[in-house]
Amino acid sequence: MSNRLQNKRSLIIGGTSGIGLATARRFAYEGASVVVADLDRGYAGDLNFIPCDARDASQVDSLLAQTIQHLGGLDILFHVAGISGRKHGDGALHECTDGGWDATLDANLKSVFLTNRAAIRQFLAQGTGGVILNMASVLAISPAPTFFDTAAYTASKGGVIALSQYAAARYAKNRIRVNVLAPGLIDTPMATRAVNDPAIRTYLNAKQPLGPGPGTPDDCATAALYLCSDEARFVTGVVLPVDGGWCVSEG
């Protein structure tokens, strides 16, 4: 233990599986007080868990109030929660349904707006600054439609980047830092379809050559730890690909 987050009070949205869970455990190991929120407890075990649908403004406001009561304040928000959208009708632009678009934007972008708004309000009220880290996707900056042909998902993650960079600019004077992770294909429950597709695995050998293959949730947790720690006190508005070389490889 290096105590890189000693005495930091953190809230992780979507913290009961995959990247969120790996980060919650890493944050706790590094000395942070952690609350995780999600639709259900999932694999959160003995982590402090509060149920919340981050698409609902009233639930988000209640979550922040409960978190503040439990932790005594807030220093870090990491928003991981999101969906792929395929089962709702997301797909190629000419095939994406109205329902697929609405469901994906609600889960991936509206939820970020709601949690970030609540966190910003808390940070401003505290007057102590704070850190927000949002989850985008490498697909928002380096599309790969042969295997990942989802218009709404890509647009939602691009929206996360735009919102985060706006917030970074707007609230830097308040010592609030806002950054973004943009993972490549990571071996998580949400990515099971892609991870287990033989054609995609072959593609990744060249597209994510540092793997090769999919990354791990711990790869993202390590990057999140840096961006949320005081080591990154001079870093805001950054989009950090954690992609095994995706953005600089042809595939």
Whether 29 sits among the annotated catalytic residues: the reply is no
What does the H/E/C string look like for the chain?
Answer: CCCCCCCCEEEEECCCCHHHHHHHHHHHHCCCEEEEEECCCCCCCCCEEEECCCCCHHHHHHHHHHHHHHHCCCCEEEECCCCCCHHHCCCCCCCCCHHHHHHHHHHHHHHHHHHHHHHHHHHHHHCCCEEEEEECCHHHCCCCCCCCCCHHHHHHHHHHHHHHHHHHHHHHHHCEEEEEEEECCECCHHHHHHHCCHHHHHHHHHHCCCCCCCECHHHHHHHHHHHHCHHHCCCCCCEEEECCCHHHCCC
pLDDT in tens, 212-250: 889 999 999 999 999 999 999 999 999 999 999 999 998
The mean pLDDT value of the chain amounts to: 96
Mind listing the pLDDT tens digit for each residue in 3-20? 999 999 999 999 999 999
What digits encode the pLDDT tens for the residues 33-51? 999 999 999 989 999 999 9
* Interval 154-163: pLDDT, tens: 999 999 999 9
Q: What is the pLDDT of residue 1?
A: 66
- The whole-number pLDDT of residue 149 equals 97
Q: Domain 9-188+216-237 falls in which CATH fold? A: Rossmann fold (3.40.50)
The packing angle between helices 57-71 and 111-126, to 10°, is: 40
What pLDDT is attached to residue 192?
87
CB–CB of 182/222 below 8 Å? no
Options 29, 153, 171, 203, the catalytic residue:
153
> What digits encode the pLDDT tens for the residues 86-145?
999 999 999 999 999 999 999 999 999 999 999 999 999 999 999 999 999 999 999 999
pLDDT at 212: 84
| Domain range annotation of the chain | 9-188+216-237
**Out of 27-36, 128-137, 190-199, which region has the weakest mean confidence (pLDDT)?**
190-199
Q: Which two tokens stand for residue 215?
A: 């990354």
Q: Residue 171: its pLDDT value, please?
A: 98
Q: What token pair was written down for 224?
A: 């999140």
